[in-house]
Amino acid sequence: MLNVNNNTAQIKREILTRIAKLQLAGKLADEIHYIPREIIPNKANPIRCCIYHDRQIIRMRVIAYLGFSLEDYDDEKTLAEYVNEALKREKPEPPMLTRLDDACNSCVQSHYMVTNACQACIARPCTTNCAKKAIHIKHGRAVIDDETCINCGLCMQNCPYHAIIKIPVPCEEACPVGAISKGENCKEQIDFNKCIFCGNCIRECPFGAMTDRGQLVDVLKHIIAGKKVSAMYAPAIAAQFRALPGQLESALKQAGFSRVWEVAAGADITADKEAREFAERMEHSEMMMTTSCCPAYVRAVRLHVPELSPCVSGTRTPMHYTAEIAKKADPDCVSVFIGPCLAKRQEGLNDEFVDYVLSIEEINALFIAKEIKVTEMEMSAGEITPTASGRNFAHTGGVAEAVRVRLDNPEILKPAVINGLDKAGIRQLKHYGKIKSGAVKHTAETPNLVEVMACEYGCIGGPSVITNPKNAALYLEKYIAAGNSEEKS
């Protein structure tokens, strides 16, 4: 997993912050064209061939964060024209993922390479374990015949000196469903008929060539216009900002939101419904049920493991139930979900109660633009106080545990967790699909509840997080513990 602190992430956050500051000052259309030059000044060391190419890529990033697809990029349209078009937009348009052609590095095809660490040892496990005889010793070093090699990786696995390495194409390597491949110009292309919007490519591309389409401009437009805008923040958000219960409520209200709802309350509804559904399915002797709160997982099943579809819970997601609560409380409000997930952006397009979905990076940019420090905010009372298990949805294993504690007969539960939909996770899914179809025998050890999270660590490891997931897990525990203390007192 590419660390959350890197140049590409920092550039993205800088652009988002500048967009927020300009829009809040009423200068977005007039001064947005300065952003590429401000981020890449005249004396900057070029990242690409020259600073002008670097500025062109920044310009394209700006357009994506204004909410546009770069597959429809118009080089002749000014940034001001893009701003005016964005401000007239009534709702976001799919897909929520886009590709910056100029930023793509056209990486060479994935392959294995022998390094200087090779000792041409007598054991030569690289040659003896290569079924295709693609490795030979020449001039005191192993050499791989690229035409014969099938990229199985056995040579790398068996080298005692770790002298053989894999040169990957990061976005292709990260995509669990083969939705990314090279086009005719050697640039990476996205097949949206395969894509599950997990966001792995956004997280792993070191050139930032894959990115999400922003909605911050749309939300700020409504806030500035004085409309009632309700924020709904996922539990993972609190962990990103090291917040205590109530601090995010204060911060979001200071940022301009009229009401704030914690999505853990919706998670409680999801857990209640999934527990009842699971019990009913088991009463009817069904084989297994899988959770439904991760939209990337649900799409993965629909597109790539359809035989598992009958097992997916019919319960809606915490985002949906929270948005329904927000709309019932304020029917005319603009509902805005805030989360760490690309798939939630895509889900929001089809949810009747959700108007917009902001990423953690976008809300962080808004906080910076308005000089709001979450950890220094007072703790205000939330609209609804969720349970600890609802807040723990953000962490892998949290959904299954929330279902367990709600069962009248928890002994019937045999849970399993898929912690991240990488390629290994997809293989696990397909294994469960084979069990469902009868291709693999169902045994007493087969789990009857499978929780699936597309991101390793759960939502706290989403593609737009700003905090290392391991640290975020600790902050989430403190957040839940603080909430429990308040409830008991």
Give the span between the Cα atoms of 334 and 218, in whole angstroms: 11
Other Cβ atoms closer than 10 A to 227: 12
Q: What integer pLDDT is reported at residue 483 of this predicted model? A: 79
Same domain, 233 and 214: no
What CATH number corresponds to the domain at position 116?
Answer: 3.30.70.20
Count CA atoms closer than 13 A to 61's CA, side-chain side. Answer: 29
Under DSSP, is residue 17 helix (H, G, I), strand (E, B) or coil? helix
Contacts of residue 309, Cβ cutoff 8 Å, sequence gap at least 6? 301, 302
The residues facing 336 across adjacent strands are 231, 356
Residue from 480, 22, 27 nearest 262 by CA:
480
Same domain, 50 and 140: no
Give the span between the Cα atoms of 209 and 454, in whole angstroms: 21
> pLDDT tens digits, residue range 255-290?
999 999 999 999 999 999 999 999 999 999 999 999
Same domain, 233 and 381: yes
Q: Is the pLDDT of residue 185 over 90?
A: no
Q: Is the pLDDT of residue 371 over 60?
A: yes
Going through 299-394 in order, the beta strands assigned E by DSSP cover: 334-339, 356-359
Same domain, 423 and 379: yes
Residue from 162, 109, 159 nearest 130 by CA:
159
Same domain, 430 and 482: yes
Q: What integer pLDDT is reported at residue 489 of this predicted model? A: 41
Q: Please, what sign has the CA dihedral across residues 54, 58, 59, 63? A: positive
CB 35 within 8 A of CB 185: no
CB 122 within 8 A of CB 147: no
The reply to whether 93 falls in a domain is yes
The reply to whether 2 falls in a domain is no
Containing structural domain, residue 279: 225-488
> pLDDT tens digits, residue range 42-63?
999 998 899 999 999 999 999 9
The reply to whether 272 falls in a domain is yes
The reply to whether 412 falls in a domain is yes
CB 176 within 8 A of CB 167: no
Same domain, 30 and 154: no
pLDDT band at 484 (very low <50, low <70, confident <90, very high): confident
The residues facing 137 across adjacent strands are 142
Same domain, 210 and 233: no
Q: What integer pLDDT is reported at residue 1 of this predicted model? A: 65
Same domain, 83 and 130: no
Convert 203-224 to b/e letters by CB count within 10 Å (16 or more is b): bbbebbbbbbbbbbbbbbbbbe
How many residues are present in the chain?
Answer: 489
> pLDDT tens digits, residue range 142-175?
999 999 999 999 999 999 999 999 999 999 999 9
Domain count, the chain: 3
For the segment 89-112, the average pLDDT, to the nearest whole number, is 94
Q: How far is CA 489 from CA 245, 476, 483, in A?
A: 14, 20, 10
Torsion on CA atoms 215, 216, 219, 222, rounded to nearest 10: -120
Alpha helices in 129-256 (DSSP H): 154-158, 170-174, 200-204, 216-224, 235-240, 247-254
Q: What integer pLDDT is reported at residue 22 of this predicted model? A: 98
Same domain, 256 and 380: yes
The reply to whether 1 falls in a domain is no
> pLDDT tens digits, residue range 284-343?
999 999 999 999 999 999 999 999 999 999 999 999 999 999 999 999 999 999 999 999
Q: What integer pLDDT is reported at residue 178 of this predicted model? A: 97
Supply the DSSP symbol for 327. H
The reply to whether 172 falls in a domain is no
Same domain, 412 and 343: yes
The reply to whether 162 falls in a domain is yes
The reply to whether 173 falls in a domain is no
Phi, psi torsion values for 177, nearest 5 degrees: -120, 10
For the segment 407-417, the average pLDDT, to the nearest whole number, is 96
Structure tokens at 454: 């597309």
Q: What integer pLDDT is reported at residue 142 of this predicted model? A: 95
Same domain, 371 and 236: yes
Same domain, 304 and 371: yes
Whether the pTM exceeds 0.85: the reply is yes
Q: Is the pLDDT of residue 488 over 60?
A: no
Q: What integer pLDDT is reported at residue 485 of this predicted model? A: 54
